[in-house]
Structure 1
């Protein structure tokens, strides 16, 4: 048994959801794919898949093996691509994790232009605001926003991320415009639940802390919802300009207390530390560098 072929057959069966579709993708017969998987199970001494007439299901051992096997196959493909031609054409499937609001608003044109320049690269974009485990979950790159702490991962700074306090003119006409931090005490706030309360200036820490919250405030884990609520006059939001910038530029929102903005965060491209970096990863990181401009286009409203 060729263990790499068997491993690739197993991973493809899982990704395709059936032996028949996996066989089509691998250009093998379904019988041979089934044989490979059975041989792999025999070699490991455990069942990886439970098969029914309609579906296949990973066993607990199969789920654990699948994660590692996918990474091993990715590493083999990356190594062969690099050794074959270090300057060769980027190719293969690029798995990217990105924050929800940022990706929806800003990544579609980028990905379209990248694939036009690198047509042999396929994109698998997964949107999630949680901090994914790049290695365990099989991602090539994760885009992250914040102040990154030291880790074994490699990070490339892509663009600054400015946070602003903003509200709709109609809301300010009803409740008054804060001129200093003390004026904020009696206002309603639209809070992002993932915001780090330790980040930024004291006024931002107070607004995001439990001591500054009230039952009447609106809390959400999605910045787009909060910006739309702010436009509707629901209160004051603290959001990055890559979400709020268009509304600010159109006059639907006004920036408050600009002298009390926190230090900017940043958008980073994060990837696993590998001695050999796949050409598809290297090409995407290079493509990101400078793509959004300096300052980023979403900040060009002052």
Structure 2
């Protein structure tokens, strides 16, 4: 049995924590994936997974083996892709992660021309609002929005994304329209709990910054969810423009304190510094930068 195929099956099971899901990823039956992993364990004379009827998890030896076989398989994939790319076409896998809202609205439209132009590129996109460990989980590229935390990752800014303070007319008609930033403290505030300072919104006008301390009445890790709650008349939120643009245009939301500026978030492409940046990933980053700069 081919060692490389058994290693690929092992990596897929480790990534999915499921033999069934690993089979779907690889296009193999669950039975065959299980056979590959058992064969690998027999050759190594060790147990790589703890198995129960409900879960699959790596043993300590399995975790150590995963760390060592991942770069081997990545290098093999790079060798295959290099040959194809030298023949003129971009080819091979790209694993990308992005926030759910952005990844299901703005990002697909930006990706579409690239994927049509390079049909041999295999995109695996994971949308999640919590932060993921890019290196540990094997991603080539992450799209992040907001202030970047200290990190060893390399970041390239793709575009600025304005934040908009807004609420539904229904809410503002019932509770009044704030005339000053500090009036926000008396309102229901819908807050993204990914932000660094959960209970402070910062607004600026006339060269002066106003740090508004409020009660984060309702919290969520998804700006899209907060925007929908605001549309429903629940309170005031600060949301990235892409999540509220259509609602503002239609009148379902309106700007609050429009004479004041809010923060502007950056949209960034992040990738590991110690991993060779393949031509296909570099081309995708350049493409996204061009698309968003419009």
TM-score scaled by length of structure 1: 0.77
Distance (whole Å) between structure 1 residues aligned to residue 180 and residue 142 of structure 2? 38
Describe the superposition over 1:209-238 as per-residue Cα deviations: whole angstroms up to 9, x where unpaired: xx5216xx2222222222122122211111
Structure 1's 32 and 194: CA in aligned 2 closer, same or farther, altered over 3 A?
closer
Structure 1's 8 and 272: CA in aligned 2 closer, same or farther, altered over 3 A?
same
Shift of 1:165: 0.8
Describe the superposition over 1:16-55 as per-residue Cα deviations: whole angstroms up to 9, x where unpaired: 8379989976xxx99994686146413xxx3224689x99
Distance (whole Å) between structure 2 residues aligned to residue 249 and residue 289 of structure 1? 26
Structure 1's 39 and 291: CA in aligned 2 closer, same or farther, altered over 3 A?
same
Describe the superposition over 1:153-178 as per-residue Cα deviations: whole angstroms up to 9, x where unpaired: 22111111111110112222222222
1:96-245 counterparts in 2 under 5 A? 96-197=96-197, 201=202, 206-207=211-212, 212-213=214-215, 217-245=217-245
Distance (whole Å) between structure 2 residues aligned to residue 32 and residue 65 of structure 1? 18
> Contact 2:19/2:33 (CA < 8 Å) preserved in 1?
no
Question: Unaligned 5+ residue runs, structure 1?
Answer: 295-302
Distance (whole Å) between structure 2 residues aligned to residue 9 and residue 32 of structure 1? 9
> Contact 1:89/1:279 (CA < 8 Å) preserved in 2?
no
The answer on 1:37 being equivalent to 2:52 is no
Q: As a proportion of its length, which structure holds more strand?
A: 2
2:89 paired residue number? 89
Distance (whole Å) between structure 1 residues aligned to residue 85 and residue 185 of structure 2? 61
Structure 1's 70 and 164: CA in aligned 2 closer, same or farther, altered over 3 A?
same
Shift of 1:128: 1.5
> Contact 2:192/2:219 (CA < 8 Å) preserved in 1?
yes
Structure 1's 30 and 220: CA in aligned 2 closer, same or farther, altered over 3 A?
closer
Describe the superposition over 1:233-291 as per-residue Cα deviations: whole angstroms up to 9, x where unpaired: 21111111110111111121111223432331111111112463222212211221121
Distance (whole Å) between structure 1 residues aligned to residue 127 and residue 288 of structure 2? 18
Structure 1's 178 and 161: CA in aligned 2 closer, same or farther, altered over 3 A?
same
> Contact 1:91/1:121 (CA < 8 Å) preserved in 2?
yes
> Contact 1:68/1:136 (CA < 8 Å) preserved in 2?
no
2:246 paired residue number? 246
Distance (whole Å) between structure 2 residues aligned to residue 162 and residue 23 of structure 1? 40
TM-score scaled by length of structure 2: 0.79
The answer on 1:283 being equivalent to 2:283 is yes
> Contact 2:3/2:40 (CA < 8 Å) preserved in 1?
no
Structure 1's 87 and 161: CA in aligned 2 closer, same or farther, altered over 3 A?
farther
> Contact 2:49/2:57 (CA < 8 Å) preserved in 1?
yes
1:297 paired residue number? none
RMSD value, Cα: 3.7
2:19 paired residue number? 17
Distance (whole Å) between structure 1 residues aligned to residue 178 and residue 23 of structure 2? 64
Structure 1's 123 and 67: CA in aligned 2 closer, same or farther, altered over 3 A?
farther
Distance (whole Å) between structure 1 residues aligned to residue 80 and residue 218 of structure 2? 51
Question: Unaligned 5+ residue runs, structure 2?
Answer: none
